Amino acid sequence: MSDAFYLGIDGGGSHTVALLADEAGRILGRGEAGPANPLTAGEAEARQALLAAARAAWAAAGLAPRPAAAACLGLAGAGRERERQAALRWAAEDGLAAQALVVLDCDLVLAAGTPHGWGLALIAGTGSIAWGRDAQGRTARAGGWGYLLGDEGSGYALGLEALRTIARAADGAGNPTALQEAILAHWGLAAPQDLTARVYRTPFPRAEIAALAPLVEEVAACGDPVAERLVSEAGAALARILEAVARQLSLAPEEPLPCALGGGLLVRGRLVREAALRAVSALGWKLEPVVRVEEPVLGALRLARGRVCYPPLQGT
């Protein structure tokens, strides 16, 4: 076995995953820890999560922790230079690697799901964002504004719209929908009026609302017209932000564009993904290949090993 080891780390807002691989790309160990978004978890907790996940990966490989030859850290909160430099400093001070690269978590999906690390990435889980990188390294984004200002087409947005349709139907201001029975049963509620106490809580149950998205897809699959409309609208919203990124990068509609899909709604769901791809095609864009990325951390490992290199690896 070569003495060269590589670390790929996906530091998200809810948990952190680290993979350790050898020079041949064989994955030797996997480690997990808590959230590593410095903007939401705080810098101290984010740093500790990165270190804990890396150490757990070394332990899983049966090896003592040491500086890897290179590491890539994909962080949800690394969009500004200040956060990126802080993460590079942590990697150096904590001995994660001799060289480190810090990128946005969106870049991990792109690196894992496109042949050469450029193209488009569409991510829809609790939130939503579109990200792109052209062959020259220019980047663009759309969406990602959070649940108050954006996140159109996300699991949260879909779940919230389902609740709103139930409220309107209960008032006689909207069409009846099987979503009412399905969601009330899912949450163990007796009547639509009980939704108020369930939703208006502290802390706000954003994740619980987003978790309704698969239920909306189930009801839509059974032919409920209201649920079908919500799914179609979610797909159209995702198509619009993906097109916005493609236009920012001046990509050519007539050329096939590699596209990586991330987030539970697009990776594990089906109807919203299909609706989004249909809507993108209707807008005149050709996505090829389209790859669902279940493990974005594989993109971090690919970047660490230099198979894709956005800028050259930054020395620490």
Tokens of 9: 């780390």
pLDDT at residue 82, as a whole number: 86
Q: Is 172 in the same domain as 55?
A: no
Number of domains in the chain: 2
pLDDT band at 312 (very low <50, low <70, confident <90, very high): very low
User: What average pLDDT does range 188-210 have in this prediction?
Assistant: 95
Q: Give the three-state DSSP class for 269.
A: coil
> Which of 64, 21, 41 shows the shortest CA–CA distance to 300?
21
> Which of 169, 159, 145, 168 shows the shortest CA–CA distance to 241?
145
> Which of 115, 73, 158 shows the shortest CA–CA distance to 258?
115
Structural domain boundaries enclosing 57: 5-97
Q: Is 84 in the same domain as 172?
A: no
- Crossing angle of the two packed helices 271-282 and 213-221, in degrees rounded to 10: 80
Q: What is the pLDDT of residues 9-64, one digit of tens each?
A: 999 878 899 999 999 889 999 999 998 888 777 889 989 999 999 999 999 999 99
Strands 27-33 and 16-22: antiparallel
Question: Is there a domain that residue 69 lies in?
Answer: yes
| CA dist., res. 147 & res. 152, Å (int) | 8
Q: Is 71 in the same domain as 160?
A: no
Q: Is 168 in the same domain as 34?
A: no
| CA dist., res. 90 & res. 151, Å (int) | 31
Question: Is there a domain that residue 110 lies in?
Answer: no
